[in-house]
Amino acid sequence: MGTKVNIIVGSHVWAEEPDVAWVDGEVVKINGDEAEIQAANGKKIVSKLSKLYPKDMEAAAGGVDDMTKLSYLHEPGVLQNLATRYELNEIYTYTGNILIAVNPFQRLQHLYDSHMMQQYKGAPFGELSPHVFAVADVAYRAMIHEGRSNSILVSGESGAGKTETTKMLMQYLAYLGGRAATEGRTVEQQVLESNPVLEAFGNAKTVRNNNSSRFGKFVEIQFDKHGRISGAAVRTYLLERSRVCQISDPERNYHCFYLLCAAPQEELDKYKLENPRTYHYLNKSNCYDLVGVSDAREYLATRRAMDIVGISTQEQV
Ligand SMILES: Nc1ncnc2c1ncn2[C@@H]1O[C@H](COP(=O)(O)OP(=O)(O)OP(=O)(O)O)[C@@H](O)[C@H]1O
């Protein structure tokens, strides 16, 4: 992190500020190893010289699409660049060949449509704006050219957007390796529909994320020598099993329980299902509904996904 730059009176710097992490300002006085900074937010800050970072006064107004282009590669510089881009709805930024995604918490439809997929197909890495499709494209092409498996690692804290990012990667790989639908369901459709099934049984509302995956997963998509998807396997790790019998407000149990209680009436009658509030494992929390989510619709979507994935009706029952 330490970018060795001589900080003097008049230098523009970043200083730590507990409320907002970092503020920028100008050094107005230096006393030994301490500096007084006139911050842009109007405050006067006193900080150790060693805790100040130089601010790039010639940084591009819209930020840079690759962190390696920053003059100073330190925490405030990186955060400032991500924030600048985020303001412009540019949620993706490279750091070399790593992609950083900042959760937009809104649907950015134009980023993921078929036109976008066409654009990224075969485009040299770095030529177009940073995008999750570009990462998938590189992995796919490397696999074809080198004839070897490739992995994409998606990591981040809870709610960062790993699940959504993984789905987009899978969607793009399905687009690259898909074949025209001939009879009914295709392998790539099955690959994609594995997600709603896994989410119904392994995702739940937590304090941090309404659709938090309570397990890890390794998704393997297999391709034939022509680059067409031939199969897939999903391995799951460490499901948070305690959630089944222990939940606290305002979290929920696994989605599947609420979906079951929102099944069509004939199924509710058949399986003697009642309102989720009547069940001990569900009524330990006061949260039953998710804003913007219809459990009834999700129930039908999950059943449909199970059909496509190939889970027989008997198994589903
Ligand atoms: N690229 C995106 N576009 C739109 N919304 C997004 C995007 N990424 C994340 N989100 C939103 O943020 C929510 C949380 O993201 P997601 O479930 O992918 O996080 P996660 O990293 O998988 O979290 P967890 O570790 O808790 O499972 C999503 O349900 C979605 O509403």
CATH number at residue 37: 2.30.30.360
Q: Is residue 283 part of a domain?
A: no
Q: What is the pLDDT of residue 29?
A: 96
Secondary structure tally for the chain: helices H, strands E: 9, 11
| ipTM for the complex shown | 0.99
Q: Are 166 and 203 in contact (CB under 8 A)?
A: no
Residue nearest atom 29 in ligand 1 by C-alpha distance: 211
Count up the domains in the chain and report the number: 1
State the distance from the centre of ligand 1 to the C-alpha of 160, rounded, in angstroms.
6
State the distance from the centre of ligand 1 to the C-alpha of 19, rounded, in angstroms.
25
Q: Is residue 148 part of a domain?
A: no
Q: Is residue 31 part of a domain?
A: yes
Q: Is residue 25 part of a domain?
A: yes
CA distance 49 to 177: 55
Amino acid at 211: N
Q: Is residue 251 part of a domain?
A: no
User: Residue 147 annotated as binding?
Assistant: no
3-state secondary structure of 124: coil
Question: What sign has the CA pseudo-torsion 227, 229, 233, 238?
Answer: positive
User: Residue 159 annotated as binding?
Assistant: yes
Mean pLDDT of 67-74: 95
Q: Is residue 284 part of a domain?
A: no
Helix axes 162-177, 187-202, angle to 10 degrees: 170
Residue nearest atom 6 in ligand 1 by C-alpha distance: 105
CA distance 19 to 17: 6
**What's the pLDDT tens digit per position in 113-131?**
999 999 999 999 999 999 9
Q: Which domain holds residue 22?
A: 12-54
**What's the pLDDT tens digit per position in 237-296?**
999 999 999 999 999 999 999 999 999 999 999 999 999 999 999 999 999 999 999 999
The count of residues in the chain is 317
Q: Is residue 172 part of a domain?
A: no
State the distance from the centre of ligand 1 to the C-alpha of 38, rounded, in angstroms.
38
CA distance 142 to 129: 20
CA distance 66 to 112: 21
Question: Of the residues 93, 153, 211, 254, which should be mutated to test ligand 1's pocket, given the most ligand atoms within 8 Å of the CB?
Answer: 211
Q: Is residue 50 part of a domain?
A: yes
Distances (CA, A) of 288 to 76, 131, 262, 281, 284: 40, 36, 11, 12, 10
User: Residue 122 annotated as binding?
Assistant: no
Interior angle at CA 61, CA 125 and CA 89, nearest 5:
60
**What's the pLDDT tens digit per position in 138-182?**
999 999 999 999 999 999 999 999 999 999 999 999 999 987 555
